[in-house]
Amino acid sequence: MKDTIIKLFNLEPSDLEDIEVISTDFTIYTIITLKVRFQQCPECGCRTKRVHDYRKRTLTHAVLNVIYTTIVFNQRRYRCVNCNKTFPETNPFAFPNRRVSSYIILRVMKMLRNPRMTFSQVANDVNLSVSSVCRILDKYAGVTPIAMPECLCIDEIYTIKYRQKIYACVLVDMQTSQVYDLLPSRKKVDISDYLSMIDRKERCKVKYICMEMCQLYKDVAKIYFPEAKICIDSFHVIQQINKAFTNVRVRVMKSFERTSEEYQLLKRFNWLLTKDSSRINLYESINLHKYYYCVDSRYVTPRVLIDKM
Exposure string over 19-32, b if 16+ CB within 10 A, otherwise e: beeeeeeeebebeb
Q: Taking all residues of the chain, what is their mean pLDDT, rounded to a whole number? A: 83
Using CA atoms, how far apart are residues 131 and 154, in angstroms rounded to an integer?
Answer: 28
At 81-129, the pLDDT tens digits run 999 999 998 877 776 666 777 778 888 998 998 888 888 899 888 878 8
CATH H-level superfamily of 151-232 = Ribonuclease H-like superfamily/Ribonuclease H (3.30.420.10)
pLDDT at 1 > cutoff 60: no
At 142-195, the pLDDT tens digits run 666 688 999 999 998 887 655 565 788 999 999 999 999 888 888 888 899 889
In contact, 88 and 77? CB cutoff 8 Å: yes
The runs of H, that is alpha helices, within 79-178 are 102-112, 119-126, 130-140
CATH code 3.30.420.10 region(s) in the chain: 151-232
pLDDT at 297: 56
pLDDT at 295 > cutoff 60: no
In contact, 93 and 75? CB cutoff 8 Å: no
pLDDT at 144: 66
Q: Which residue has the higher pLDDT, 228 or 264?
A: 228
Q: For residue 210, with 0-12 CB atoms within 10 Å meaning exposed, 13-18 middle and 19 or more buried, which class applies? A: buried
pLDDT at 51: 92
Using CA atoms, how far apart are residues 162 and 253, in angstroms rounded to an integer?
Answer: 47
Query: Which of 303, 112, 224 lies closest to 120, judged by CA?
Result: 112
Query: Which of 183, 186, 193 lies closest to 223, judged by CA?
Result: 193
pLDDT at 80: 92
pLDDT at 159: 74
pLDDT at 266: 83
